[in-house]
Structure 1
Amino acid sequence: MNINELDEKYEAFKASQHFPEKDDHQKFTKKNRQLNDLKSIMDNILYNTLFLKYFFILARPDDKRSQMAKNYVILVDGKEVALNVNQSPQFHDKANYLKWLHNEIMK
């Protein structure tokens, strides 16, 4: 899968009904640095999980252990790719995120 295909999937996800709406509690979490940091981590895992779930084929959908944040397994061109979304760049940093995802797929 090339970077252009990933870019198309990324943009399709952002335009889809599966893309989460902004949270209304931002004012509260921004006042507390620890909550803000935790929310940022949780949001990144959420974006990753939804993107991978709806725009890629899950390699082992019945095996709950293969779909954890540290071991999310997708099929790309018939090959299983295990991703640790805990180590991914911020989803909203499109260039870095797509570069990371492409590198993980090409391993």
Structure 2
Amino acid sequence: MGEAVIQRDERGRVVGVTMQADGMSALAKASAATLLRAVALSLSEYLHVAVESSFEDELSLEVDRRDQYLDREIDAVLATMRSGLRLVERDYPAELMVHEATVGVKV
């Protein structure tokens, strides 16, 4: 079963996602990968936000959230990503599990 972890910062903003696609069908993996590629492309080419991404064995996407003036736009794109991954999870319940986790919390 594949697993996607949507990462949030200490303010609750989505900052990235990592996904292990082991055990997923080609169609389910392609659906999730295409969604993540579209998100990376939208953020980098339309909003000019720095995005680090990988679409090899582990799919990952990390967004530079330092530009506070683009918060609403970035939030909208990443909320769409979250919804899209949840739809893939719904359509392929035996193949993908989506979680959310806070990263980078200092204690």
When the two structures are superposed, what TM-score results if normalisation uses the length of structure 1? 0.34
Higher RCO (CA 8 Å, separation ≥ 6 residues):
2
Which structure is higher in helix share?
Answer: 1
Which structure is higher in strand share?
Answer: 2
Larger radius of gyration: 1
